[in-house]
């Protein structure tokens, strides 16, 4: 009467915290489970059978002919337990939906009807490994007492988040007492630029959501995750005028929805933004006033962290071809710190940010640039002497559709490297993956219910790759140190190895002395 939920953790350290997973329960499994809960029929039913026996058996027959499935009062939640453990874990049921799923068999692809239940619960998954949980429907769920907070407030041991009437967030770091106010408002301005460069129109009108009155509603307040939705109906100029010098007077309403989530014991606030883009020729950004006194930002790049000035270095009159960039790239996070406290913004697939040269040091994360041309003309561009390519119309670059973005807000002590903010960035963007397997498909296995294959310990020792060697049977493990200080690291493996050696990116041995290998052959010491 259970299915197996297998969670995979691709981080090189153990996942200890809340997991949100989609559990696909096959309808056939649900029907078998439902029928098993019904009283079993007597040996034989005849016209002379006791009335109560017939009455008890009748619902079973009706159920078999038209079995109810989730969502149904008989399935109010799910019971989840770690395989090998008896006690069920507190589970937060987020949503349920019926759908058709494609899955692979030896004979090819097959369709099956499933009920997808999205659940959140605390999980423990070894480093670069898996953990298995047993799942079954529950008609009488255990509802653990959840602490109630005031309206529009999310709180855990690390953070307190208050949602203001205009939808902005006030985040209090409980460890330091630092308060960050008016986080997460939106700014929308015209964009006369092209696919290469942003350019404000000659006469711009910039809108923001400060002072608006969005709809604010609580979505979840359970033992695993607290969530709120903030929804705006935001009128924005439809496009630039025909001369592309200013925004039109005509307005179109763009739907904007922000879901703010705070998981139990998480040191960051997760934010999901959905924007229905019906406007053209504009740039949408999300702003976070940091109030951090600094003249430089830090952001991650390939194998490094780059420091950049808040105020761009000006270009001389003689050399000017375009303005120096005020926006900078990031792979997954950027950070501002004064050495004592800092604010880190984590993004997934949003590579551009700007730190405004104001007292509040607002960080502006670009969500959307909707433009009309591959390369603009001199008449269009205010920030460059000419476009970077041919002046071709690109109507699809206006991105007239609904888009979804994921970000996170991480206040911290000290600098980015002291706080190791990259760990939270990886955890945000590399959540555990899940697979559901029916018990009827189980085969006898030789592995335990949970197992980690490889773990990395060491401050600012970042794992970039685990792969099979291009030649031979060796395992290639690549690490890098993005900080300015030397670090030590330990690699722990599930199985003993014969030896270890330093190699270059070409996977050929270097002249360095071999790293230390533990007596049991399962640990490699670096540094």
What's the pLDDT tens digit per position in 185-226? Answer: 999 999 999 999 999 999 999 999 999 999 999 999 988 999
Specify whether the CB–CB gap between 210 and 166 falls below 8 A: yes
> What is d(CA 489, CA 287) in angstroms, rounded to the nearest whole number?
37
pLDDT (tens digit per residue) in 237-257: 999 999 999 999 999 999 999
Q: What tokens does 105 get?
A: 């068999």
Give the residue carrying structure tokens 């290639």.
476
pLDDT (tens digit per residue) in 7-22: 999 999 999 999 999 9
> What is d(CA 282, CA 200) in angstroms, rounded to the nearest whole number?
9
C-alpha gyration radius of the chain = 28
pLDDT (tens digit per residue) in 398-442: 999 999 999 999 999 999 999 999 999 999 999 999 999 876 556
pLDDT (tens digit per residue) in 360-409: 999 999 999 999 999 999 889 999 998 888 999 999 999 999 999 999 99
**What sections of 195-352 are H helices per DSSP?**
none
| pLDDT computed for residue 335 by the predictor | 98
Return the exposure string of 434-470: e unless at least 16 CB atoms fall within 10 Å of the residue's CB, then b: bebeeeeeeeeeeeebbebbbbbebebbbbeebeeee
425 or 39: whose pLDDT is higher?
A: 425
- The average pLDDT across 483-493 equals 96
Phi, psi (5° rounding) for residue 150?
-60, 165
Is the pTM higher than 0.85? yes
> What is d(CA 428, CA 439) in angstroms, rounded to the nearest whole number?
31
Return the exposure string of 365-397: e unless at least 16 CB atoms fall within 10 Å of the residue's CB, then b: bbbbbbbbbbbbeeebbebbeebeeeeeeeeeb
- The average pLDDT across 66-74 equals 50
Specify whether the CB–CB gap between 518 and 457 falls below 8 A: no
Which 3 state secondary structure label does DSSP give 381?
coil
| pLDDT computed for residue 196 by the predictor | 93
Closest listed residue to residue 123, CA positions, set 135, 115, 113: 135
Element (H, E) at 405: strand 402-413
Instruction: Give rounded-to-5 percent helix, strand, coil for the chain.
Output: 10, 45, 45
């Amino acid at each position: 009467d259970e299915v197996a939920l297998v969670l995979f953790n691709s981080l090189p350290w153990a996942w200890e915290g809340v997991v949100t997973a989609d559990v696909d329960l096959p309808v056939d499994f649900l029907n078998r489970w439902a029928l098993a809960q019904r009283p079993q029929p007597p040996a034989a039913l005849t016209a002379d059978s006791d009335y109560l026996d017939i009455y008890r058996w009748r619902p079973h027959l009706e159920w078999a002919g038209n079995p109810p499935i989730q969502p149904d009062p008989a399935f109010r939640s799910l019971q989840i337990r770690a395989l090998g453990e008896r006690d069920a874990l507190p589970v937060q049921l987020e949503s349920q939906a019926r759908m058709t799923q494609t899955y692979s068999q030896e004979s090819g692809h097959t369709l099956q009807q499933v009920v997808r239940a999205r659940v959140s619960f605390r999980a423990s998954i070894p480093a670069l490994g898996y953990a298995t949980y047993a799942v079954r429907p529950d008609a009488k769920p255990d509802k653990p007492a959840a602490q109630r907070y005031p309206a529009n407030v999310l709180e855990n041991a690390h953070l307190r988040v208050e949602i203001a009437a205009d939808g902005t967030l006030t985040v209090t770091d409980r460890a330091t007492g630092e308060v960050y106010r008016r986080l997460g408002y939106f700014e929308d301005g015209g964009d006369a630029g092209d696919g290469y460069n942003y350019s404000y129109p000659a006469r711009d009108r910039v809108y923001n959501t400060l002072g608006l009155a969005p709809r604010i509603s609580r979505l979840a307040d359970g033992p695993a995750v607290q969530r709120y939705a903030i929804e705006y109906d935001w009128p924005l100029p439809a496009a630039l005028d025909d001369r592309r010098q200013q925004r039109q007077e005509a307005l179109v309403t763009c739907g904007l929805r922000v879901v703010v989530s705070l998981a139990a014991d998480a040191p960051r606030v997760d934010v999901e933004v959905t924007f229905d883009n019906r406007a053209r020729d504009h740039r949408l950004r999300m702003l976070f006033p940091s109030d951090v006194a600094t003249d430089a930002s830090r952001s991650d790049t390939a194998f490094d962290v780059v420091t950049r000035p808040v105020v761009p270095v000006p270009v001389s009159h003689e050399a000017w071809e375009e303005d120096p960039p005020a926006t900078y790239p990031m792979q997954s996070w950027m950070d501002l710190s004064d050495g004592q406290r800092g604010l880190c913004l984590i993004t997934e697939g949003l590579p551009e940010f700007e730190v405004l040269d104001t007292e509040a040091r607002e960080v502006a994360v670009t969500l959307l640039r909707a433009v009309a041309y591959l390369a603009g003309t001199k008449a269009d561009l205010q920030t460059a002497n000419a476009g970077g390519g041919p002046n071709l119309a690109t109507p699809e670059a206006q991105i007239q559709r609904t888009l979804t973005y994921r970000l996170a807000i991480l206040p911290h002590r000290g600098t980015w490297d002291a706080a190791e903010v990259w760990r939270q960035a990886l955890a945000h963007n590399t959540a555990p993956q899940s697979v559901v397997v029916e018990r009827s498909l189980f085969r006898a296995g030789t592995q335990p219910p949970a197992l980690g294959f490889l773990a990395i310990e060491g401050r600012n020792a970042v794992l970039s790759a685990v792969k099979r060697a291009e030649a031979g049977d060796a395992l290639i493990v690549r690490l890098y140190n993005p900080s300015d200080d030397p670090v030590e690291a330990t690699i722990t493996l599930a199985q003993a190895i014969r030896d270890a050696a330093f190699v270059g990116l070409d996977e050929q041995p270097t002249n360095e002395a071999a790293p230390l290998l533990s007596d049991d052959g399962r640990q490699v010491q670096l540094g």
